[in-house]
Structure 1
Amino acid sequence: MRIKKSKLLFFFYAIIMLWPEYFSNSLTGLMANALALVGLLFVFKNSKRISRFSILAAVYFVYFVVDTYFHGGGDIHTLISNMKIVISIMFVDVYLTKEDQYDTISTIFWIVFFFAMLNFATLLLFPNGMYQISTVWNEWGTTTYALYWIFGSKNSHAFWYLLLEILVGLRCYIRPSRNNKILTYLCLPISILSQMILESSTATIATIIGAAGALSVVLFKKWNKEINAYFILCANFVFNALLIFGMTGFLGGIVHALFNKDLTFSNRTVAWGRAVTNILQRPITGTGILTSDEMKSVLGSLSFNQAHNEWLQCLWQGGIILFVILVLLLITIAGKINRIQHRNLRFMCCMFFISVFIEMAFEVWLGLVFTWLMLLLIYKAESIQSEVG
């Protein structure tokens, strides 16, 4: 059987794009750079198929990098790493529009499925981590050890399994075959169980919500309720404002029940307070991209290499300008969700929209291609619906 060159290119591109850091080496790094150049040529050749989502994502990253150089930070790695994310977003976006959507989603799914199952096996086989990284806190030798697996530390696994959930859900929506339903029933419990093993309460809640969305296209013939994605977006910002500015006293019981955290959210409030202080110093343009060591220094702790909240991180490093770009992008996604006529598919996208926001309330994710790929899939669901008819 003859395989199209474009399919072969996409297969290798997707593998390298999703290649876990644990397996990375100089060879995979060279392959990633080479495929990025090929991907750039592919995108340029099919530039008319680039969506508004990709354009806004490109504006987000271009401004972020330019802002970083303007403030005297960044290097060639800063430019290359961020531009590779932009190329990846556009490449998948264009390919989903140009080629068979089910085959494209299936290609990404099987790659994510393989790595996710491999990582899940390591969680069972190595409950104390495949390796550990120690942090020496003071001159008296106080040391803690962070556990790591294929997908990294416990807070790094969430979007892998959320991506697995939305991919298996979309496959089942496009082709609701018996085999696809069985795969859905396999992937969703494993996604949730992996977060429970890691004792990541936030990720557990996020994957449960995502699983509920994916199940909606499998179990229910018709979802009777309509959810407005704009409401989800507004509710997200209200929720974040309550968290950040300390108006969470009345939420104490809910927070403890859902996230198993006190109202400091594992001391994240300390990072939030310091981030807000720094935002006020450069509110318009921010600081540009900071290194991990620079962030630890500013936040005043070895345990904080980020603001632990996506919206604060965006305002801190990119200022109001970057935040506005991000809000426009999210409004664009919400608008696309609201255009979905199939109520079960719309419900699924809304649930994953919520899952993304839950994760972003406590961690920083927009520096990773997985997050953007997930947002792209939510955005493209409306066109997927059109193809299914």
Structure 2
Amino acid sequence: MNIRVFLNNEIVILLLIFWYIEPAYFQQISAVNNIYNFGRVCFLCFGLLLYFLFKKNKNYSYDLIVILFLWIIFTTFLHNGNLSELSYELLCAGGLCTYIALYTEFNSIKILVVIYKLLYIFIVINLICMFIFPHGMYTSMGGDGVTVYWQNWFLGYKNYPIRIFIPALVLGHLLCRFGKKKNTLIILYVICFVSSILLDSSTGLIGIFVFSALAFCILHLNTIKKIINLKTAVIFTIIIFYVVIIAQSQNSILAYITNFFGKDLTFSGRISIWHDSITAILQSFLTGHGQFSGSDFQNITGSFAFHPHNYFLYVLFRGGVIELLIIALFVGSIFFSIKRQPNLYRLACVYTISMFLMGITESLITTAVLFYPVFLFFNLIESYESHVA
């Protein structure tokens, strides 16, 4: 049997990528988590071998992901950081990115179909668990080993599931380009909204609301979709970032918004966390402090929090302005590769705006597991459609 035909089997693909999308509940079961860890290492090595065997075309976006992870490893060693905290992100995001790059070489969207189905099943299971266990399935420990989070479900605590919801919705939209999964995508929207309400996640609700509203605009409103591009996405994110970070005094509009989502004007104490984070970032602005644990963050900043509660501050704290620049180049490379595909380009803008908007008040620590791979799917779709054409 031809090796490419074998690798294009959906069951085989599931076996290859299953290890990189581990529900939070399984991480609490040592035996299961150890199996996942072993599988991640083995199949990452196998994936890298396959990629270099079949690689024919230059994939700048994947190369930038490799450079990004190498930089994070380097700066972590440089500052005697906590490399063990990095291993999960490196293995999961690295594994998914490698296999997506491999199937880009194959011009196959089968991996997109498989990952979408897997995420869909996990999201449904999470909602069922929330109905069965309204007060949570288990408790989990905070980054200091002392704080206890009581309400955890299949996909984790409060804001964690949203990091799966939006990537799943993006993959659903990508599959709709081929006339697939339209009805299941509508159902997925409903499930994600209901789940975010039950989770009492204002970050999640805002993220899904913005994503769904913008997705509707690019699909149905010609006037609005013309202004949705990378430039407006960047400007919008910067403005919101600026407004939120300096929101330290009473403002009637801001007060209405924060009260609506059950927050105070300190954003649940985040103002002081951001201040402490910025102070620490300025101490090592170029290279950051390397990967850190919750207790490491507290020791460096003197904050009561385990992380900066802001995606951009998290990136600057960990890898400095160099990591931020590499991420910007990676995202830019994706947009450059799909610039001749207007609908694909706009969907990527919607995804970027939604994730970065949520990143204003959350570090989205585990987002990288799906954040970078979803961007690479835009590359895959562009390659596939060019090949078919």
Which of the five TM-score ranges fits, normalised by the shorter chain? Answer: 0.7 to 0.9
Q: Hey, what does 2:153 align to over in structure 1? A: 149
**Conservation of the 8 A alpha-carbon contact between 1:69 and 1:288:** yes
Q: Distance in 1 between matches of 2:168 and 2:149?
A: 29
Q: Does 1:20 align with 2:28?
A: no
281, 284, 291: which one pairs with 2:293? 291
User: How far off is 1:283 after superposition?
Assistant: 1.3
1:208 to 1:253, Cα distance in 2 relative to 1, 3 A: same
Q: Hey, what does 2:357 align to over in structure 1? A: 358
| SS of residue in 2 equivalent to 1:82 | helix
Q: Distance in 2 between matches of 1:308 and 1:211?
A: 24
1:248 to 1:83, Cα distance in 2 relative to 1, 3 A: farther
Q: CA RMSD in A?
A: 3.1
70, 78, 95: which one pairs with 1:62? 70
Q: Distance in 2 between matches of 1:242 and 1:328?
A: 25
| SS of residue in 2 equivalent to 1:148 | strand
User: How far off is 1:316 after superposition?
Assistant: 1.4
Q: Distance in 1 between matches of 2:221 and 2:382?
A: 19
275, 280, 283: which one pairs with 1:281? 283
**Conservation of the 8 A alpha-carbon contact between 2:248 and 2:265:** no
1:307 to 1:382, Cα distance in 2 relative to 1, 3 A: same
Q: Hey, what does 1:34 align to over in structure 2? A: 42
Q: Could you tell which deviates more after superposition, 356-365 or 116-125?
A: 356-365
**TM-score of the superposed pair, with normalisation by structure 2:** 0.85
User: How far off is 1:150 after superposition?
Assistant: 1.1
1:221 to 1:12, Cα distance in 2 relative to 1, 3 A: farther
Q: Could you list the runs of 5+ residues in structure 1 that have no partner in the other structure?
A: none
1:98 to 1:55, Cα distance in 2 relative to 1, 3 A: same
Q: Hey, what does 2:192 align to over in structure 1? A: 191
115, 124, 127: which one pairs with 1:120? 127
**TM-score of the superposed pair, with normalisation by structure 1:** 0.85
Q: Could you tell which deviates more after superposition, 65-74 or 85-94?
A: 85-94
Q: Could you list the runs of 5+ residues in structure 2 that have no partner in the other structure?
A: 27-31
| SS of residue in 2 equivalent to 1:362 | coil
1:6 to 1:265, Cα distance in 2 relative to 1, 3 A: same
Q: Hey, what does 1:91 align to over in structure 2? A: 99
| SS of residue in 2 equivalent to 1:147 | strand
| SS of residue in 2 equivalent to 1:293 | helix
Q: Does 1:318 align with 2:319?
A: yes
| SS of residue in 2 equivalent to 1:132 | strand
How many aligned residue pairs are there?
376
Q: Distance in 2 between matches of 1:221 and 1:283?
A: 42
Q: Distance in 1 between matches of 2:22 and 2:151?
A: 20
Letter paired with 1:348: L
Deviations 1:164-189 (A, max 9, x none): 2112111112125xxx2221221111
**Conservation of the 8 A alpha-carbon contact between 1:207 and 1:355:** yes
Q: Could you tell which deviates more after superposition, 114-123 or 321-330?
A: 321-330
Q: Distance in 2 between matches of 1:14 and 1:272?
A: 36
- Larger RCO of the pair (alpha carbons < 8 Å, separation 6+): 2
User: How far off is 1:77 after superposition?
Assistant: 7.0
1:36 to 1:206, Cα distance in 2 relative to 1, 3 A: same
